[in-house]
Each structure stands twice: as C-alpha cells, then as structure tokens.
Chain A
Amino acid sequence: MSNGMSSNQSSATMFFGSMGRYAMRGIEQLGDGTRLGLHALSLIFARPWQGKHFVLQLYALGVGSLIIIIITGAFTGMVLALQGYYTLAKFGSESLLGAGVGMSIIRELGPVLGAFMIIGRAGSSITAEIGIMRVTEQTDALEMMAVNPKQRILLPRIVATTIAVPLLVSIFDVVGIATGYIVGVEMLGVNSGAYMAELIAKLEMIDLNGGWVKAGVFGFMIGMICTYMGYRATPTTEGVAKATTQAVVIASVGVLIMDYILTSFYL
C-alpha cells in the first residue's frame, strides 16, 4: 500500500518537475533564439552586402507562397460572403456585407490565415533546409569558407519573411474582398454600390494599419522562429523532422498569441 502511495507522489512530482523543466527549456530557447536572431540581424549592413540573397529568398518564400495565398484568400472571401449574407439577411442588413467581409479579412483573417499558410508553405521549408544544412555540415563548410552562415543563411530568410508577409497579406485582403464581392453581389444579389460603400464607410485607416502591423510582426516572428529551430536542430534526420514539426507548431501558436496581444492594442 505504502508503495502505491509513494509512487503516486513521485508521479505528481515528476509531472510538475517535467512541467518546470519544459518551462525552463522554453525560456532558455526564447533567450537563445532572440540572441541568435538579433545577431543575424546585426549583420544586415555588415560587408559583404547580401542583397542578392534577400532577392533569392523573397523569390523562394514570397513568390513561392503567392498561389496558395491567392487561393486561400479567394475562398476565405467567398465563404465569408456566404456566411455573412445569411446572417445579415435575417436582420435586413445585407448592405453591410461588404463591411463585414472587409473588416474580418483586413483586421483578422488576412494576417492570421495568411501567416498560417506561409508557416506551412515557407516556414517549414526554412527549418528543414537549415536543419539539413546543419546535418550535412554545409553550415560548417560555409564557416570554413569565411562565409558567415548567420549572415548568409539566417538573415536573408528573416528579412524575406518580414517583407513578404505584409505583401502577401495585402494580396490576400484584396483577393478576399474581391471574391466576397463576386459571391455577394453577383450571386446573392447584394446591391453593388452598397458593398463597397459600406466597406469604405466602416473601415478606418487604423484597421488597415493594424492589419499591416500584424502582418509585419508575424512575418518577423516566422522568420526568427523557423530559422532558429533549423539552426539549433539536433543534427540528425530525426532531429530535423522534429524541429520542423516544432517550428510549425510554435510559430502557429506564437502567431495566435501575438494576434491577441496586437488586437488588444488596436481596438
């Protein structure tokens, strides 16, 4: 009997102990990641100038995510128009459809859904690519060829996501508003003037700014998290696989938490 008691106690202490260790590990990683990222960023103006690599990463991460962003934006706008119409129609306020679709997309869904798609499309590939470079000693090879991997590998990716995400989110917004218009006006018969007029009337510049600030912050976060997870991945096949999964999870959760914080600032 006493044996069972003690094992109960020890499993409880083990549970809280491991919780504590996870928390400590998390804080440690946060500090380590911030330091690594800032170190990389501090090299932005250091010679040699990495302009070509910014462009290459903008191509890989930005242009590469364009199609998926357009598709997601299109269907988000369409489904919002559909859902919004049936809800608003009950109150005779169909004319508010444009405002509803536009507000939700610009303030919330554009930045968050856009960030999710970019994490899935570009973030995971950042982590996997850098992780594999670690496994195969390519980062060490760069070091020995007097090329700083923080400047060459990490920095361009952080810069590229920070620039690309606001651009992609803006495209997402426009596409979503446009497909919402098509569904609302062309298919459901909402007054065509009302759709845009209400959208323009209800949206303030602060809503747009809020959306862009969110997008920029998310882009920066995605770059920082995904490069860090790859760079510090355990240099094994399994380690890279695990790091990639973790990067996607941490970046997604981080985006949601940050979204709440930023929304509370911008309301």
Chain B
Amino acid sequence: MQPYRRIEMTVGVFVFLGLVAIAWLALKVGQVGGIGESGYTLTANFNDAGGVRKGSDIMMAGVTVGRVDDVKLTNNDHATMILRIHEGVAISEDAFASVRTKGIIGDRYVRITQGMEEAHLVAGSEIEETESAINIEDLISKYIFSGKE
C-alpha cells in the first residue's frame, strides 16, 4: 500500500496546482471578489460614445486611472457613461472628459483633463464638460469634400 500513498500524495499536489491556477486566474485576471468594485463612480454624458465600451480605459495624463463600467443610451439621444475611478485619484469639479483613440486606429478610451477648481467631484456626481469622439471618417470625408471645392 506504500506506492498508493505516494500516488495519493502526487494527485494531491496535482489537484493543488490546478486549484492554484484557477485561483490565480479568478483573483488576478478575473478580478473576482470586489477588486473590480473598488474606487468610486462618476457619470458623464456624451453626444457620441464613439466606440468606448464597458471595460475601456480611463486615462489622465497618459496614466490609467479607471475603467468604464457601463455605456448606455439616455433620453434616446445621448450616451451616458459610468466611469469607475481608482481610489485616491481626485478629479476637479470642472474637469474635462473626452473620447480619444490610442494611435490612429487603436482602442478608444476616455481622457480626463483636470480643471482649475480646488473642489473635487464626489462619488456619483457628473463630469459636465465633455467632448465626443472625433470621427475619423467624418474628418476624411470633410477633407475630400473641401479638396473638391
């Protein structure tokens, strides 16, 4: 029965390894267990969300400061985003949010630029100043159109 003991131990180690892998994937990669829920949320209204999706980055000065929690249509005419901002990142009341693109055809992200006000936005409040996505196709067609004239 000694060999069976050793087999049992080996199987135990194997199952443990597998569970560690599962736990790492779930906790670290999948951000289970509230890690994804940390920080606070702000809202922002855009005329055109322009490709920003749930999970898109929020960047300030080129640094990721949060993720987009949700994008939905409000009043049938404009997009409302729920922005989840990392704890400890303070955003001034007159901050400015814009939809930008990484590179020419890269991913869309939300860029936040700080304003002048000393006061900071509290959780749940709205960033009033926004700028919608620059639509490259619009730009190109505008350019071609003007070129023809």
Q: Mark B59-100, 1 if CB is under 8 A from A, else 0.
A: 000001001000000000000000000000000000000000
A106 to B30, CA, bound (A): 11
The residue on A at minimum CB distance from B67 is: A201
Q: Is the CB of B29 within 8 A of A58?
A: no
Q: Is the CB of B57 within 8 A of A106?
A: no
Q: Is the CB of B107 within 8 A of A93?
A: yes
Q: Is the CB of B10 within 8 A of A59?
A: yes
Q: Is the CB of B18 within 8 A of A102?
A: no
A170 to B31, CA, bound (A): 16
Given A93-B107, A171-B21, decide whether A55 and B7 contact each other with a Cβ distance below 8 A: yes
Q: Mark A70-95, 1 if CB is under 8 A from B, else 0.
A: 00000000000000000000011101
Q: Does residue A117 face the partner (Cβ distance < 8 Å to B)?
A: no
A95 to B119, CA, bound (A): 34
Q: Mark B98-132, 1 if CB is under 8 A from A, else 0.
A: 00001111110000000000000000000000000
Q: Is the CB of B10 within 8 A of A63?
A: yes
The residue on B at minimum CB distance from A212 is: B22
Q: Does residue A166 face the partner (Cβ distance < 8 Å to B)?
A: yes
Q: Is the CB of A200 within 8 A of B28?
A: yes
Q: Is the CB of B55 within 8 A of A201?
A: yes
The residue on B at minimum CB distance from A198 is: B57
Q: Does residue A96 face the partner (Cβ distance < 8 Å to B)?
A: yes
The residue on A at minimum CB distance from B54 is: A204
Grouping DSSP codes into helix (H, G, I), strand (E, B) and loop, the B interface class, with mixed when no group exceeds half, is helix
Q: Mark A230-252, 1 if CB is under 8 A from B, else 0.
A: 00000000000000000000000
Q: Is the CB of B10 within 8 A of A170?
A: no
Q: Does residue B11 face the partner (Cβ distance < 8 Å to A)?
A: yes
Most B Cβ at <10 Å: residue of A63, A91, A201: A201
Across the interface, B64 reaches (CB within 8 A) one of A166, A197, A208, A212, namely A197
Q: Is the CB of B29 within 8 A of A199?
A: yes
Set of chain B residues within 8 Å of A207, measured between Cβ atoms: 30
Interface size on A, residues (CB 8 A): 35
The A-contacting residues of B in range 11-41, CB under 8 angstroms, are 11, 14-15, 17-19, 21-22, 24-26, 28-32
Q: Is the CB of B31 within 8 A of A173?
A: no
Shortest CB distance A251–B (Å): 21
Set of chain A residues within 8 Å of B30, measured between Cβ atoms: 203-205, 207-208
13 A-B contacts, Cβ less than 8 Å apart? A58-B14, A59-B10, A62-B14, A91-B104, A92-B102, A92-B103, A92-B104, A93-B103, A102-B29, A106-B25, A174-B21, A200-B29, A212-B22
Name A's B-contacting residues (CB within 8 A).
52, 55-56, 58-59, 62-63, 66, 91-93, 95-96, 102, 106, 163, 166-168, 170-171, 173-174, 177, 197, 199-205, 207-208, 212
| 12 additional contacts (CB under 8 A) given A96-B107, A166-B18, A167-B22 | A52-B4, A55-B11, A62-B14, A92-B104, A167-B21, A168-B18, A170-B18, A170-B22, A173-B21, A200-B28, A201-B57, A208-B29
